[in-house]
A and B are shown apart, each in its own frame.
Chain A
């Protein structure tokens, strides 16, 4: 069972929901923090990191002795990572999306495997939970390959909970595609609703069943609930705007640590997801 915890808007409580659900379920759970631009699940789970793996991606490296400046590589590159001027090929590594098209069309075999570092994947354990997260290299713009690398860490667990990045662009798709269920976390405000709709559209396009957690549920207005009813999206959990919860968060504590009765609520949340995912 793979559950991606996503949102349209940032700061709605994805990490809060993902870490509390993972912790409440305990053994057999793997938490993958795929918000690689700003991973923060480790602040709440305090994992012991055992393995650190550097992740690189292919970029073309030109062998000037073999290159005839025929321009085929530059012509096929839709990201313009290659340009031919003054009889030489220029490479712009940061624009490259690693498709390998340039290698395919080069008749001279002049394009060698170069590498650009994307970031690191760190893995370990947090109590009974298996934990991995990605850290995008500062200055790197392309996160999906690193997210896919984090997601490739697998085995020995029955439940995978993915903490996805916010938004609806490529990194989010990389973090939710192929999941059995997407749990959308939102807040009941016009801003929350606006971005939730965008997120739900993306999830529906991928054809993945989804449900809602409404965080800070006693603020704002009724818009999110009305939308959920209209779209037939189940509201699976509501977390109130509670000072005690906010204080726990501010010192890196889980809700279930300061209010143990929430462990049952998060286990219930998982049970409801399991039923919905199998429908």
Chain B
């Protein structure tokens, strides 16, 4: 299964970035093989608005089934939900630790945004 994780760097040993739309990198990790792709999200970091929507669209296009992140806003949540992606929020530690914790469980999926929209 592919999971998307917001990250501060391009390695599995880098920290999870708590922001979704404006995280510098979004990692797409295969939970079976631990193969990964680090996607440069810098275009969204500087976006005027709609960073979460754009990041959610991208994660959906990469085929991720689950999103591991810190905070997910209302527009981002609406988009990932429409894409059929489940969200695990309040994730911390390194990318590798986050994936391991997800694999070993228990996993609690979010039922809504855990952050207000930015204006």
Contacts and interface: CB of A to CB of B under 8 A. Distances in A.
Contact of B78 (A80, A84, A90): A90
A92 B83 contact: no
A86 interface: yes
Contact of B79 (A79, A85, A141): A85
Nearest to A84: B57
A86 B59 CA distance: 12
A92 B50 CA distance: 9
Interface residues of B, number: 17
B49 interface: yes
Nearest to B78: A90
Contacts of A86: 60, 82-84
Contacts of A90: 53, 78-79, 82
A121 interface: no
Interface string B68-94: 000000010011101110000000000
B53 A83 contact: yes
A92 B75 contact: yes
A74 B60 CA distance: 15
Given A83-B79, A86-B82, A92 B57 contact: no
A85 B56 contact: yes
Interface in A138-189: 141
B53 A92 contact: yes
Contact of B49 (A74, A84, A85, A95): A95
B82 A80 contact: no
B50 A74 contact: no
B82 A88 contact: yes
B56 A83 contact: yes
A81 interface: yes
Given A85-B57, A95-B75, 16 more contacts: A74-B57, A79-B48, A80-B49, A80-B50, A81-B50, A83-B53, A84-B57, A85-B80, A86-B82, A86-B83, A88-B82, A90-B53, A92-B50, A92-B53, A92-B78, A95-B50
19 contacts: A79-B48, A79-B50, A80-B47, A80-B49, A80-B50, A80-B53, A80-B54, A81-B50, A83-B53, A85-B56, A85-B57, A85-B60, A85-B80, A85-B83, A86-B82, A86-B83, A90-B53, A90-B78, A90-B82
